Amino acid sequence: MEHETINKRNGEQQNQVGETTRAALSRRQFSAGLPGVMLAGSIIELSEHNSSNAVAASIPTSSIGPGRQKLTPHAYDQPQYVLSGTTGCAWSPDSQRIATFQEHIVTLYNAHTGKRELTYDKHTDEILTVKWSADGKYLASGGFDQRVHVWDAVSGQTAAVYQGHSAIVRDLAWSPNGHYLASAGYDKTVRVWEALTGITVASYAGHTAEVQTLTWSPDSTFIASTDLQNKTLIWRVA
């Protein structure tokens, strides 16, 4: 009976934290990529000994061959460099560059040297998400200005600007074949665009809550979108 009372009390406390947390989210927290409903969760801390064993156990010795990289968790225990003034980042597919963002600006750096290579500042409000195309030639960015920008990762020139969302754009996802881009946000819709023209291909409005995340299936035929009511909807796009 005592055990049931404790469980009930813990459940009530978690519900209260969930309600107050969602109400307290600020624009700054959104720009940092915090998904709101995920803030009231449990954190499991591993000791140094346990974390080392976990890494070692996850990589069977038999799977490490001439073409595979063996992780050495304690070989490099200091950062190679620090990129200040960032609220999020995304690696290029070839690992040669890294895109960071803060406020309305995206900055590209050389991933090996930390040297700044390019700045994109065409948004008019805070950016919440930046995604690379599979070939590493383009980036897509979106956020509080309710627009999606697709731009050249070499020249910094804008390729297309999508206008169609009536609230913040929370997430973006390139199709694996690179032909299309999906966007979703707090207008509870998912939109699919021709990546370099901005022509709308499809629009889905089945969510009853704000959409947080998007992902394409590897064969480019489905999109999965998850909202703040913890529902994931699967859409067929091809």
pLDDT digits (tens, 9 = 90+) for 155-195: 999 999 999 999 999 999 999 999 999 999 999 999 999 99
Q: Measured between alpha carbons, how far is 217 from 203 in angstroms, rounded to an integer?
A: 17
- Please name the residue that has the structure tokens 């629009």: 203
Cβ 66 vs Cβ 97: under 8 Å: no
- Please name the residue that has the structure tokens 């109400």: 23
- In this prediction, what percent of the chain has a pLDDT beyond 90? 63
Look up the domain containing 155 and give its range.
Answer: 85-236
Ranking 24-28, 93-97, 147-151, 171-175 by mean pLDDT, the lowest is 24-28
46/196: higher pLDDT: 196
Amino acid (one-letter) located at 106? V
Q: Render pLDDT for 120-130 as a digit per residue (tens, 0 to 9).
A: 999 999 999 99
Residue 79: the pLDDT is: 78
Amino acid (one-letter) located at 117? E
Ranking 28-32, 94-98, 125-129, 196-200 by mean pLDDT, the lowest is 28-32
Question: Does residue 91 sit within a domain?
Answer: yes
The per-residue pLDDT of the chain, averaged, comes to 79
Question: Does residue 4 sit within a domain?
Answer: no
pLDDT at 22 over 60: no
The strand ranges marked E within the chain are 88-91, 97-102, 105-110, 116-120, 127-132, 138-143, 147-152, 158-163, 169-174, 180-185, 190-194, 200-204, 211-216, 222-227, 232-236
Residue 62: the pLDDT is: 45
Count of beta carbons in the 10 Å neighbourhood of residue 55: 14
Question: Does residue 77 sit within a domain?
Answer: no
Question: Does residue 22 sit within a domain?
Answer: no
Residue 51: the pLDDT is: 40
Cβ 172 vs Cβ 213: under 8 Å: no
Count of beta carbons in the 10 Å neighbourhood of residue 113: 10
Q: How many Å separate Cα 135 from the centre of its chain?
A: 18
pLDDT at 42 over 50: no
Q: Render pLDDT for 49-100 as a digit per residue (tens, 0 to 9).
A: 344 343 333 444 444 455 567 766 666 677 778 888 888 999 999 999 999 9
19/72: higher pLDDT: 72
Mean pLDDT of 131-158: 97
Question: Does residue 27 sit within a domain?
Answer: no
CATH of the domain at 139: 2.130.10.10
Largest Cα span, the chain? 67
Question: Does residue 221 sit within a domain?
Answer: yes
Nearest to 172 by CA among 119, 120, 102, 225: 225
Rounded to two decimals, the pTM is 0.70
Question: Does residue 41 sit within a domain?
Answer: no
Question: Does residue 68 sit within a domain?
Answer: no
Q: Render pLDDT for 205-220 as a digit per residue (tens, 0 to 9).
A: 999 999 999 999 999 9
What pairs with residue 207 in β-bridges?
Answer: none
Q: Measured between alpha carbons, how far is 122 from 106 in angstroms, rounded to an integer?
A: 9
What pairs with residue 184 in β-bridges?
Answer: 171, 190
10/188: higher pLDDT: 188
- How many structural domains compose the chain? 1
